[in-house]
A and B are shown apart, each in its own frame.
Chain A
Amino acid sequence: MMMLANPARFQRLAAKLQPWTGAAAALLLASGLYYALLASPSDYQQGQTVRIMYVHVPSAWVAMAAYSTMAAGAALGLIWKHPLADLLARAAAPVGACFTFLCLVTGSLWGKPMWGTWWAWDARLTSMLILFFLYLGYMALAGAFDDPARGAKASSILALAGAVNIPIIKFSVDWWNTLHQPASVSRIGMPAIDPAMLLPLMLMSLGFMAFFVTLLLWRVRAELTGAKIRALRTLQLHEEREVR
């Protein structure tokens, strides 16, 4: 971890790593799509709508992974004032918001034919909606200050307070026995899902995760470059003043 602490070293490493994570994402998503749409059976109860699972569940996992990344960045930024940590949190937020949105919409498209409704105030659905609003609140707050450091501080506190929602999402299907089905992959013991469906689900999930890492590297590099531009501009202003 401390190896990455130096921004210049991080830039070099990220640039080197990125083609590999990008290639992994492309390969995993291509093979995942093949199994998800063509080479996997339809469900005996849900028919072909079960194929929505292969984009819905990975979106939900990335949405939660992005929030964990953001909260970890926020904590590191608040406690150690690490320059990379705030940038990491800022880079992860829009990606997480997009995948939360995808999770909500694909879930709705799955819920209509299977549950008979686009939306229900079920515990899992509601906590996912709260996650979406936490992302939006974080982004609004982070951009609301002229001084980026103050924006980072305020939004980091929001990100950490909102982190309590992550275990609530995870366990909502066990604590409240409502519409959304309980976990069938991350169970203790064997997953309650047929291997023919587990394979596309795992390929797509790994593909989504590799894609997320690729996006994150692009975005952290962009944030770092932006910080460098700001620093150089300030320096230039000071020099011009001295010349006069």
Chain B
Amino acid sequence: MHDFLAMDGYAAFVWPAYGLTFLVMAGLAVLSRRALRRREAELASLQARVRASRS
């Protein structure tokens, strides 16, 4: 386990590369999904208001 984490002395280069890639990809996924959910909710409430004002 220790050998694996040490990466033959290159841990300071290998792990930041993987860590940053994971962070950026996770961030993109969370933000993209959240933006869609927010806009869908906004559209639904807007449509409900339009329907209410028409009837």
Contact = CB atoms under 8 A, between A and B. Distances in A.
Interface of A: 37-38, 42, 47-49, 51-52, 55-56, 59, 94-95, 98-99, 101-102, 105-106, 109-110, 112-113, 211, 214-215, 218-219, 221-222, 225-226, 228-229, 232-233, 235-236, 239
Interface of B: 4, 7-8, 10, 13-14, 16-18, 20-21, 24-25, 28-29, 32-33, 35-36, 39-40, 42-43, 46-47, 50, 53
Contacts of A232: 43, 46-47, 50
A110 B24 contact: no
A37 B16 CA distance: 14
A38 B16 CA distance: 17
A39 to B, nearest CB: 12
Given A47-B8, A105-B20, A222-B32, A229 B13 contact: no
A233 B46 CA distance: 8
Main secondary structure of the interface of A (DSSP, over half): helix
Given A51-B14, A232-B47, A222 B20 contact: no
B5 to A, nearest CB: 11
Contact of A102 (B24, B29, B42): B24
B10 A47 contact: yes
Given A48-B10, A218-B33, A222-B36, A109 B16 contact: yes
Contact of A109 (B13, B25, B46): B13
Contact of B21 (A55, A215, A221): A55
Contacts of B17: 52, 55-56, 105-106, 109-110
A110 B16 CA distance: 10
25 contacts: A47-B10, A48-B8, A49-B10, A51-B7, A94-B28, A95-B28, A98-B24, A98-B28, A106-B21, A109-B14, A109-B17, A110-B13, A112-B13, A215-B29, A215-B32, A218-B35, A219-B35, A219-B36, A221-B36, A222-B32, A225-B40, A225-B42, A229-B46, A232-B46, A236-B46
Contacts of A99: 24
Contacts of B7: 48-49, 51
Contacts of B4: 37-38
A113 B13 CA distance: 8
Contacts of B43: 225, 228-229, 232
A51 B28 CA distance: 23
A113 B9 CA distance: 10
Nearest to A112: B13
Nearest to B20: A105
Given A225-B39, A232-B46, 11 more contacts: A48-B14, A55-B17, A102-B21, A106-B17, A218-B33, A219-B32, A222-B32, A226-B39, A229-B46, A232-B43, A236-B46
Nearest to A226: B39
